[in-house]
């Protein structure tokens, strides 16, 4: 019976972690090794940052460490920054990544009554949590985005009375040369695509300036506006 409740608790905890970090980001196969976890536990955690009071517990893609925030709630960013510096000092930055989060363990009634249900934990995962998407999938989605922009540009012309009159006359005369339509739609198409490309170029400039790596953007289509925007993954941990 005890094993049953322990398994149920682990499943709930695992599902919570999976909801925070989906499989494409979590990458279970890159979970920190026991040696890396041990070094983190002994040399990164401590009474000046985050003081653990339990051993690391396995969760999908990594481990959680329960403990006490020793710097106060107003200095959480400073605590995390200090721990990240120690991670680099101990050459762990290429092997793991830390997240400061609320305890994912299911809350008991006793914890609610004692207001002990928002305790912090450290979640350790592999260093690379950038989502993995195949080049083919990204290419297809981006192509649909470009088609969406073209469709929007053409659709916008339908609100122009002069355009509709010209189109009607061309149909009445049996004129099959409709290249003028693309000429009219081109400015809106190029302007919309150009603004998005300029935005993505700005991402590249910032990444180069701040020395971090980003992946290729994926243009996201929209049924209403042709283009929702773009998703650019950050590859640097």
Sequence-ordered strand ranges (E) for the chain:
50-52, 57-59, 62-69, 97-102, 120-125, 218-222, 226-231
207-223 CB burial, b ≥16 within 10 A, e <16? beeeeeebbebbbbbee
Percent of all residues in the chain with a pLDDT value above 70, rounded to a whole number: 80
The pTM score is: 0.58
pLDDT winner (highest mean) among 8-17, 96-105, 130-139, 147-156: 147-156
Q: Could you report the per-residue pLDDT of 66-96, keeping only the tens digit for each?
A: 888 887 767 788 888 888 889 888 988 888 8
Residue with tokens 């302007």: 191
Q: Could you report the per-residue pLDDT of 178-224, keeping only the tens digit for each?
A: 777 788 888 888 998 899 999 999 999 999 988 888 888 888 888 77
Check residue 5 and give its pLDDT: 40
CA distance 112 to 208: 47
């Amino acid at each position: 019976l005890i094993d049953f409740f322990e398994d149920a608790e682990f499943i709930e905890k695992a599902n919570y972690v999976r909801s925070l970090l989906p499989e494409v980001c979590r990458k279970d196969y890159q979970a920190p090794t026991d040696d890396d976890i041990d070094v983190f536990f002994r040399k990164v955690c401590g009474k000046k940052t985050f003081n653990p009071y339990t051993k690391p517990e396995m969760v999908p893609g990594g481990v959680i460490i329960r403990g006490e925030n020793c710097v106060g709630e107003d200095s959480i960013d400073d605590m995390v920054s200090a721990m990240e510096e120690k991670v680099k000092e101990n050459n762990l930055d290429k092997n793991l990544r830390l997240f400061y989060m609320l305890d994912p363990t299911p809350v008991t009634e006793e914890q609610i009554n004692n207001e002990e249900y928002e305790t912090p934990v450290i979640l350790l995962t592999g260093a690379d949590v950038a989502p993995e998407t195949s080049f083919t999938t990204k290419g297809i989605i981006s192509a649909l985005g470009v088609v969406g922009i073209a469709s929007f540009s053409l659709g916008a012309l339908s609100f122009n009375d002069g355009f509709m009159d010209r189109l009607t006359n061309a149909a009445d005369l049996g004129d099959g040369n409709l290249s003028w339509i693309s000429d009219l739609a081109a400015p809106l198409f190029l302007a919309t695509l150009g603004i998005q490309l300029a935005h993505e170029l700005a991402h590249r400039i910032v990444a180069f300036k701040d020395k971090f790596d980003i992946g290729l953007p994926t243009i996201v289509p929209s049924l209403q506006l042709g283009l929702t925007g773009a998703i650019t993954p950050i590859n640097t941990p």
